[in-house]
Amino acid sequence: MFRWKATAATIAIAAIVLTGCAGSGDGGADSGGSGRADRLTLTAIAAPTSYDIGAGAEYGNRSPFFQAVFDTLLQKDSSGEIEPWLATEWSYNDDNTVLTLTLRDDVEFTDGTALDADAVVASLERFRDGTSPQAATLAGKEFAAVDATTVTITQAAPDPSLINLLSIAPGLIQAPSTFDDPDSATEPIGSGPYVLDTASTVTGTTYVYTANPDYWNADAVKYDNLTINVIEDPTATLNAMKAGEANGAKIVDNSAIPEIEASGWTIESNELDFQGLLLFDRDGTMAPELKDVNVRKAINMAFDREALLEALQSGYGTVTEQVFPATSAGFDESLDSTYEYDPEGAKKLLADAGYPDGFTLNMMSTPAFQQTFDLVAQQLSDIGITVNYTDPGTGNFITDMLAPKYPATWMALEQNPDWQLINFMIAPDATFNPFHSQDPQVDEYIATIQTGTPDEAEQATKDLNAWIVDNAWFAPFYRVQGTFAVDANTNLEFWPTNAYPSIFDFSPKN
């Protein structure tokens, strides 16, 4: 039986009146007939570690800092579809191992140097050979400048994720003239829509940008000035909203949504991350019980997903039993009814597997998500599984997880596009497959997805997703609602493919 507990960290904003105007960040104020508003002021929860694309480039919650000053080769529109950007055309050879990109011929970096094929190749190589979190996505790829406006990317085997990668961090293009400049970490030079005002910027806290006067796509720029304030604390974010110090804010505590909406702000959302258990040790090397598929199925049946979503996310999200997202070619809504909440049925499966008295499962915990860990232990206890938690320390949580030191863990992970997800969670050498679980059928599906025709790859993705659910490699609970709020002066179309909105999808209300 599910036993409710009070939310551990509730933001008290009763009686706070959130204003619709944004003070000095008035998103509705026209700038002298330019067709743009004066300033867009946003909040973010994490600052960039470095503007050098070889060291710190990443998307997610740090994307606006990079998107402001650098262009990507390709771009995503507000619906998440790929569109031309610095590259106007792209095509593969017959075996999908060589991608040819045609570049615009009218783009310069803000230091006046040309953005040509040589500059693109230099940036791609810098990212590939650097220490950015996604550097490995370009590993093994070779880049060449055929002429001033043509670049080829050659790879040993097809990479179905490459086009998408060129629209996010791996596709960022930095002026090569800055590669040897030690100040490039804080004084970026790109070809993007804005230029960082280093005199007004306080690194780690406040980032101020002015519109690039020579931007090749001037119509895409809706504001003359952009400010991004880094505010990690949810209460401080709400106070900034209350004071009219922002036009848009990342909301990390969904329990605040009703009060925010009641105060005239608009909520935009997407669902990128799922939360649930990663049942790593499918071969039973550390926890022999997990080798039995009936045990993994019993664990899935132990969780009241609707109740967990309400208790832990105030109901903001969607229950799921799939790690593939709803945007995936492999997603099948019917799979979300594979494991109904059934403690008695779960106990029977455990008994059939030879564990009528249950067993003990070692997992990690961390104080930041203590309520989640308590509820997980409670529901597993209801079917006879005793959780033995160890707190490795916040700094070691991911390190120990991937060492691997535990057979299973709770985790929140992004639901990437299909090929990225496969190489992130499922393939034998995937980052979040630390025990290197492998199955001949899974290998066959992955090979077809990589080298088959589009129709064959789509069917293989569907089959792989169904196989993963049926064999209970994971025990997802729900997809979490990612939330962004905008004031009464600001429009936003929140793309479905990143944790933070595209800066191109904000616009002033007339």
Cβ proximity of 317 and 471 under 8 Å: no
For domain 271-481, say whether CATH 3.10.105.10 is its number: yes
Domain 14-45+193-265+487-510 matches domain 271-481 at the CATH topology level = no
pLDDT of residue 510: 78
Binning pLDDT at 50, 70 and 90, where does residue 10 land?
A: very low
Binning pLDDT at 50, 70 and 90, where does residue 253 land?
A: confident
Question: What are residue 500's phi and psi, to 5 degrees?
Answer: -120, 145
pLDDT at position 40 over 90: yes
Burial profile 160-176: b = 16 or more Cβ within 10 angstroms, e = fewer: bbbbbbbbbbbbbbbbb
User: CA quadruple 43, 47, 51, 53: dihedral positive or negative?
Assistant: negative
Please list the residues that pair with 364 across neighbouring strands.
390
- What's the CA gap between 421 and 441, in Å, rounded? 17
Binning pLDDT at 50, 70 and 90, where does residue 31 land?
A: very low
- What's the CA gap between 219 and 236, in Å, rounded? 34
- What's the CA gap between 443 and 140, in Å, rounded? 21
Mean pLDDT, rounded, of the chain: 92
Please list the residues that pair with 508 across neighbouring strands.
490
- pLDDT digit string, tens, across residues 442-500: 999 999 999 999 999 999 999 999 999 999 999 999 999 999 999 999 999 999 999 99
CB atoms within 10 A of CB 242: 15
- pLDDT digit string, tens, across residues 131-174: 998 898 999 999 999 999 999 999 999 999 999 999 999 999 99
CB atoms within 10 A of CB 390: 12
- What's the CA gap between 151 and 256, in Å, rounded? 48
Binning pLDDT at 50, 70 and 90, where does residue 12 land?
A: very low
- pLDDT digit string, tens, across residues 396-443: 999 999 999 999 999 999 899 999 999 999 999 999 999 999 999 999
Element (H, E) at 310: helix 305-313
Topology, domain 14-45+193-265+487-510: D-Maltodextrin-Binding Protein; domain 2 (3.40.190)
Provide the total of helices (H) and of strands (E) in the chain, helices listed first: 13, 21
Binning pLDDT at 50, 70 and 90, where does residue 3 land?
A: very low
Share of the chain above pLDDT 90, in %: 87
Tokens of 120: 């693109």
Dihedral in degrees, nearest 10, Cα atoms 61, 66, 68, 73: -120
Residues 6+ away with beta carbon under 8 Å from 54: 126, 127, 129, 130, 131, 132, 179
Query: How many angstroms from the chain centroid is the CA of residue 482?
Result: 10
Burial class (CB in 10 A: 0-12, 13-18, 19+), 145: middle
Task: Report, as an integer, the average pLDDT of 12-32.
Answer: 34
pLDDT at position 362 over 90: yes
pLDDT at position 99 over 50: yes
Cβ proximity of 162 and 99 under 8 Å: yes
pLDDT of residue 19: 27
Topology, domain 69-190: Dipeptide-binding Protein; domain 1 (3.90.76)
Task: Report, as an integer, the average pLDDT of 181-205.
Answer: 97
- pLDDT digit string, tens, across residues 257-285: 998 998 899 999 999 999 999 999 999 99
Query: How many angstroms from the chain centroid is the CA of residue 126?
Result: 22
Please list the residues that pair with 338 across neighbouring strands.
none
Binning pLDDT at 50, 70 and 90, where does residue 34 land?
A: low
Binning pLDDT at 50, 70 and 90, where does residue 17 land?
A: very low
Give me the residue spans of the domains in the chain.
14-45+193-265+487-510, 69-190, 271-481
